[in-house]
Amino acid sequence: FRFFCRGRAQKIEKKTIFYACLARVVREGGFKVALISRYSAIPGHVTTALYSTCGLGFWIFLAAAVLSLPKQLALIAIGMLAEESDNASGTTPKHTKIISWVVVAITVVITVVAYRWILRQMNDVKPVVIYERRKARYVSSS
């Protein structure tokens, strides 16, 4: 993605204010933004593509990916518990359902909090992005 899609990402960043703000938040937020977004329900392959086109460093990405492994392991554990219960008796035990719903609820809460936090960060940098675009337009038209 870094090598093949960077040009396309730069075009989108020039045209779309939303993406420009998001890219700036990822660049300036670094590890904190990477970790928060990895714990949200945003699929990992989407965040990986975003990080690579925005220029997030490899070591920051790797640290966020490793620290977000508990989320992935919880989802795998739920799947294994569900499969075991289906194979054994045909019904899902109560503790499996409770664990599944707790993990889903935690994921939803983290996702909502992460989304609101990232959106707030984007709104904070939006005036700067708009100012820079206006300044670049003025310079290019002069």
Spatial CB neighbours of 21, under 8 Å, sequence gap ≥ 6: 122, 123, 125, 126, 129
What is the SS3 assignment for 91? Answer: coil
pLDDT in tens, 17-71: 988 998 899 888 889 988 988 887 778 788 888 888 888 888 998 999 899 888 7
Q: Any idea which residue has 């204010």 for tokens? A: 17
Residue type, 124: D
pTM, entire model: 0.74
Domain containing 115 equals 4-139
Q: Are 16 and 9 in contact (CB under 8 A)?
A: no
Candidates 31, 87, 86, 33; CA nearest to 59 is 31
> Measured at the alpha carbon of residue 3, what is the angle toward residues 120 and 55, in degrees to the nearest 5?
30
Q: What is the pLDDT of residue 91?
A: 64
- What percent of the chain is predicted at pLDDT more than 90? 15
Structural domains in the chain (count): 1
